[in-house]
Amino acid sequence: MSHPHPELGPPPPLPEGGLRIVPLGGLGEIGRNMAVFEFDGRLLIVDCGVLFPEPDQPGVDLILPDFEYIRDRLDDVEALVLTHAHEDHIGAVPYLLRERRNIPLIGSKLTLALIEAKLGEHRIQPTKVEVVEGERHVFGPFDCEFFAVNHSIPDALAVAIRTPAGIVLHTGDFRMDQLPSDGRLTDLGGFARLGSEGVDLLMSDSTNAEVPGFVTSEREIGPVIDEVIRTSEQRVIVASFASHVHRIQQVMDAAARHGRKVALVGRSMVRNMGVARDLGYLKVPPQLIVDSRDIEEWPPEDVVLICTGSQGEPMAALSRMANRDHPIRIAEGDTVLLASSLVPGNETAVNKVINGLTRWGARVVHKGNAKVHVSGHAAAGELLYVLNLTRPSNFMPVHGEWRHLRAHAKLAALTGVPEDHIVIAEDGVVVDLVDGRAKIVGAVHAGYVYVDGSSVGEITDTSLKDRRILGDEGFISVVVVVDSNTGKLTAGPEIHARGSGIDPAQFDEFIPQIERALAEKAADGVVDMQEIRRVVRRTVGRWVSDTYRRRPMIIPVVVEV
């Protein structure tokens, strides 16, 4: 198997007639999906998503792909193909369009409608090309054919990209539910036809490559949701992804059957379900929906609330309810249904929310104690099925952490793909398809770009390290005034501490040590302010470490007179 090496250098020029693939996100992580295809000097992008921050990235709202690789070549971009409307595939589109607003967005009706609603908040009017499964569209040298795939959001697509270098099939996110609630099956016949034509490179969803067998059908979830709503004596609060139209439909249908009204809570939930209803993807029974602001007027046994926050996001509606920081107050006897899978890394946040809800007397139903969610990603049995249908000459697992990519690569080897034709790449690794062979040829920078409030890319890894230190250890500032000519101390030291856990009275005993250290440097003729700052920092740091076994951030402030 071909895989990246830490010493990979910049890629060579793309050989004539070759196709270059550069993943800028989504490999080695769940999220931030983005791949750039290059042929004959022109570019095609597939997906442009975000990654949600981990607890060790304090203050970060979103993480974007790094656009630096294509920033000087944005005029070469023929189109941006969006496989579906989940945030990890479309969330970064507004930030890319800030750099070139007229990049054509290619996608299905629902995908484009949801991204247009999102772009409206950024005051961007996109250039759109709506496509449906079975169609072929040409964008520069890229001949794209679209295939229906079943996923946890309607209207998802796979795309086959034809160039003179060969055929690449990018599955997007998919599963093979044989009884989908919307009746839209993954187009296995189309995949087989493409396999007969000859797939030169298969890029396939790896998220569930470690899970054996086939995923449970979406239809098996409906009766469970119905039972939860039927047996609940008070309010039912359902937390789901704001894009999971199928799940919201099941909840609404169950609520209508049992005579309950439904209120949508959360801006993204209201926006997305409004779009889905207007386009006919969400069927809402008459008089079912009520305004969430009027929900307290209804008897609790007649109400179902649908909100965001199933991943424990601190600012989402459900987390705020758990923290008693929301107009809707959790009461004894309420039932909370977490109707979503758990995104890796969110376990602690979700458990905190569950505990908070339980504290106020709610019964919490989740994937751990009831069958209330099925994955939107194909398990190993389905992945093997697609590999056997398409019979690719080369294989590149995408969309997954390292363990998922490697598990998927092993499946490909089992189906007969030669191991030296299996490419395990990571973000930034450059893969060239030349003369029917896919090989790693180099790497480009594809680091994290952090969104913090209104700032994009201004926060660095060093900034986050400082934030972690401040959050874990606090800080100590030391102000000294020195003579700029002699380096001698003329006033201070004055010490202030926050969050360090150190008694300020202890500093009085330590101040003479700082004075001695500065006097020694002055005697040696040191007048450089940078060196004096280092002396203060080292002296204070050594004392705190030896005395308290702590490592707070130390901020020396040297004033010259």
Q: Establish whether 436 is an annotated binding residue.
A: no
| CB 262 within 8 Å of CB 287 | no
Q: Establish whether 325 is an annotated binding residue.
A: no
**Residue 203 φ/ψ, nearest 5 degrees:** -115, 110
Q: Establish whether 259 is an annotated binding residue.
A: no
3-state secondary structure of 134: coil
How far is it, in rounded angstroms, from Cα 26 to Cα 448? 12
**Residue 525 φ/ψ, nearest 5 degrees:** 85, 20
| CB 532 within 8 Å of CB 521 | yes
Known catalytic membership, residue 258: no
| CB 236 within 8 Å of CB 337 | yes
* Per-position DSSP letters for 180-210, written without gaps between them: -TT-----HHHHHHHHHH--SEEEEE-TBTT
Lookup result for tokens 């010490």 = 495
Q: Establish whether 242 is an annotated binding residue.
A: yes
Q: Establish whether 376 is an annotated binding residue.
A: yes
Q: Establish whether 356 is an annotated binding residue.
A: no
Q: Establish whether 432 is an annotated binding residue.
A: no
Q: Establish whether 200 is an annotated binding residue.
A: no
Q: Establish whether 340 is an annotated binding residue.
A: no
In degrees, rounded to 5, the angle at the alpha carbon of residue 407 between the alpha carbons of residues 401 and 408 is 90
54: left (phi over 0), alpha (psi -120 to 50) or beta: beta
Q: Establish whether 246 is an annotated binding residue.
A: no
Q: Where does residue 209 rank: exposed (0-12), middle (13-18), buried (19+ CB within 10 A)?
A: buried
Q: Establish whether 177 is an annotated binding residue.
A: no
3-state secondary structure of 284: coil
Q: Establish whether 270 is an annotated binding residue.
A: no
Q: Establish whether 76 is an annotated binding residue.
A: no
How far is it, in rounded angstroms, from Cα 187 to Cα 193? 10
Q: Establish whether 3 is an annotated binding residue.
A: no
How far is it, in rounded angstroms, from Cα 68 to Cα 388? 37
Lookup result for tokens 């770009």 = 449
Given 170, 377, 408, 421, the catalytic residue: 377
Residue 552 CB partners (closer than 8 Å, separation 6+): 469, 473, 474, 475, 476, 497, 499, 500, 502, 544
Q: Establish whether 244 is an annotated binding residue.
A: yes
Closest by CA to 559, choosing from 495, 480, 486, is 480
How far is it, in rounded angstroms, from Cα 530 to Cα 380? 58
Q: Establish whether 86 is an annotated binding residue.
A: yes
Q: Establish whether 373 is an annotated binding residue.
A: yes
Given 177, 200, 205, 427, the catalytic residue: 205
| CB 56 within 8 Å of CB 454 | no
3-state secondary structure of 13: coil
Sheet of 489-498, strand order: 489-498, 475-482, 553-560
Q: Establish whether 374 is an annotated binding residue.
A: yes
Known catalytic membership, residue 205: yes
Closest by CA to 414, choosing from 434, 443, 388, is 388
Known binding site: residues?
Answer: 59, 61, 84, 86, 88-89, 151, 173, 242-244, 373-377, 399, 452
Q: Which residues are catalytic?
A: 205, 377
Known binding site for Ca(2+): residues?
Answer: 59, 61, 452
Known binding site for Zn(2+): residues?
Answer: 84, 86, 88-89, 151, 173, 399
